[in-house]
Amino acid sequence: MREFETGANRNSEEGKIDYEGFLNPLVIKRFGEYMDSHRQLETGELRDSDNWQKGIPLDSAMKSAWRHFHDWHMEHRGYESREGLEAALCGLLFNVQSYLLTILEEKQGGHWTPVYTQEQFNDALDASPYDRDDTLADVPGSGAFSDAQQQDLEFDRLYDDANGNKEEPAEEPKNWVEAWPKWFQNVVGAVGKGK
């Protein structure tokens, strides 16, 4: 346990990953500038900053990474490249992240994307004709809820396996109101376990 001069205390940092130490703010700043400068589409529109997280095919990421690696190699040998050394490194970093994200998501059972905003969810819940006593079977089309819950439980299992967590699996929900918020929270990441 750590104790501070203020009287506050915290658990030991032993065994915890030091993300702050592994990442440098200058590199993050430069990479953000690089990414921001490449947001404009040919149509003039700006794509979302996280657009790349929707999934880039591995072959595309690999070919682009090689072009940026070649630029880096050119600069390293004293030759002029297409965009310069910093852009080459940032482009390579982008493609490596994209490739790694695809592999990690495949290991976790696929890409999770938000379907609804929290506001849309709340509005739907308020407008629902069903109450807390209704079971999943009472709700027309409720197969979507139970399928989503099954996906959520499988995601939890994969996450726990990957992190050495051996907790008992979650129980099936008793009704649709109980099932829907947990599924929604985990998919959107609004609450949940921060996955």
pLDDT tens for 115-154 read 445 565 556 556 655 444 444 444 444 444 445 555 555 6
Closest CA to 145 of 167, 165, 166, 115: 115
Distances (CA, A) of 170 to 146, 167, 177: 14, 9, 16
64 neighbors 91 (Cβ within 8 angstroms): yes
**Per-residue pLDDT reduced to its tens digit, 147-177:** 555 555 566 666 666 666 655 555 555 554 5
**Per-residue pLDDT reduced to its tens digit, 83-114:** 999 999 999 999 999 999 999 988 887 654 44
Rg of the chain over Cα atoms, rounded to whole angstroms, equals 23
93 neighbors 31 (Cβ within 8 angstroms): yes
- HSE-CB for 78 with a 13 A CA cutoff: 0
pLDDT band at 1 (very low <50, low <70, confident <90, very high): confident
d(CA 30, CA 35): 9
For residue 90, the Cα-to-chain-centroid distance in whole angstroms is 20
pLDDT of residue 29: 97
Query: Higher confidence at residue 6 or residue 155?
Result: 6
52 neighbors 95 (Cβ within 8 angstroms): no
**Per-residue pLDDT reduced to its tens digit, 42-66:** 999 999 999 999 889 999 999 999 9
Residue 74 exposed, middle or buried by CB count within 10 Å (0-12, 13-18, 19+): middle
pTM of the shown model: 0.54
Average pLDDT over all residues of the chain:
75
Longest dimension (CA), the chain: 72
Strands 9-10 and 2-3: antiparallel
Residue 33 main-chain phi, psi, to 5 deg: -65, -45
Domain map (residue ranges) of the chain: 18-107, 118-188
